[in-house]
Amino acid sequence: MATGELACTYAALILHDEGIHVTAEKISALVKAANLSVESYWPSLFAKLCEKKNIDDLIMNVGSGGVAGPMIYLFSFIEEPKEESDDDMGFSLFD
């Protein structure tokens, strides 16, 4: 995970743990207070994802990945298009 993602992950979790509504501005403030810099789009991306997902559910349901696990799950909705394979068509090279 890149530094920007990790910094925003921790910031969002800190805000949530303190009962503070997660916003891009608050994530940016925490990241800045930690003397870190992130790409400008990360805080707003994490804030939008936190609005769409219940962070408590993510924390309770993700069993691996350490502290960053819940936020990694947030990105799971962004799926890359799957390529069709021979297995998808009912046959393969080894039949």
pLDDT grade, residue 79 (50/70/90)? very low
Q: Each residue of 12-63: pLDDT tens digit?
A: 999 998 999 999 999 999 999 999 989 999 999 999 988 888 888 777 766 5
Domain ranges of the chain: 3-74
Give the torsion sign (CA, 33, 38, 40, 44). negative
Structure tokens at 34: 């930690």
Assign domain 3-74 one CATH number from 1.10.10.1410, 1.10.1610.10, 3.40.50.920, 1.10.760.10: 1.10.10.1410
